[in-house]
Amino acid sequence: MPRVVLVTGCTTGGIGFVLCEEFALQGCKVYASSRNVATIADFKHPNIDKIAIDVTNDDSVQNGIEHIVQAEGHLDVVVNNAGVITAGPLIDQPLDAVKHVFDTNTFAILRVARAVIPVMAARRNGVIVNIGSIVGEVATPWNGVYCASKAAVLSLSEVLWIECKPFNISVVHVAPGAIKSNFSANGANHFTLPPNTLYSNFLPNILQRIHASQGSNRMPTEAFAKEVVSKTLRPNPPRYMTIGGHSRLFSLFKWLPRSWVLLRLWQFYSKKL
């Protein structure tokens, strides 16, 4: 019986889209979701269905998961990949934008967990994969809302890992570094500084930060997907993994004095370009 997989946030050009292809290549039946399925291009593999799920809406999440379970009889793997970014100085962020980031990146994981854990617990089997970020563990300037949302994802992953033990459900936290995707480009397209900002002199640095994950050391999306899918489908998936550009550096940062690390990051993202 093939495993049934749901991946959220599968817009063309992103990590989720390629994860779907890789799960299908490994023999899984895959459901690729997005708020609007028109944003998902056609897949090469025939064993992937598109489904509209708005991860910021309780009913949409519940209905989407119920549809999959009714169609397949079970749901084995869920990848919480949907995410958005709002770049710039923290005090310049409109609160509505901050709430949207947390609703999509963080609260959505709880919505999905509430809907899918009872399904998995009934069969005493399942894997939940939460896509976090290395900046959820070591924050950087000019992207504070995203950093905070992904720091919360790490905490949620760890608590879910503990609380899902009685039901034989594995929870995997993935902290990607620099991975090739359209994520930064989407963030740049929607970025502006307010007229009254205190940080106008730092505009080049903010743009540098927005595009940092798409530098020469970025990991190909296909390589990222192969590693994540391979480890997710193991009999005993890991609790945590971090891969991609800068991931080793940020792993080192976690062991160094935090003030020193934060100052080095500030120096790097405040220097004249």
User: How far, rounded to the nearest angstrom, does the alpha carbon of residue 191 sit from its chain's CA centroid?
Assistant: 20
Torsion 107-136-128-20 (CA) sign: positive
Nearest-5° angle of CA 116, CA 155, CA 24? 45
Which residues are part of the catalytic machinery?
Answer: 146
Kindly report the three-state secondary structure assignment for every residue of 222-252: HHHHHHHHHHHCCCCCCCEECCCECHHHHHH
Q: Are 61 and 108 in contact (CB under 8 A)?
A: yes
Instruction: Indicate the angle between helix axes 15-25 and 221-232, nearest 10 degrees.
Output: 50
For residue 243, report the phi and psi dihedrals to the nearest 5 degrees: -145, 160
Q: How far is CA 201 from CA 88, 89, 191, 193, 206, in A?
A: 12, 12, 15, 11, 10
- Residues paired with 130 in a beta bridge: 80, 173
Q: How many of the other CB atoms lie within 10 Å of CB of 8? A: 27
Q: Which residue type occupies 116?
A: V
Q: Give strand ranges (E) for 90-154.
A: 126-131
Torsion 56-144-240-82 (CA) sign: positive
Place of tokens 């890789």: 22
For residue 100, report the phi and psi dihedrals to the nearest 5 degrees: -65, -40
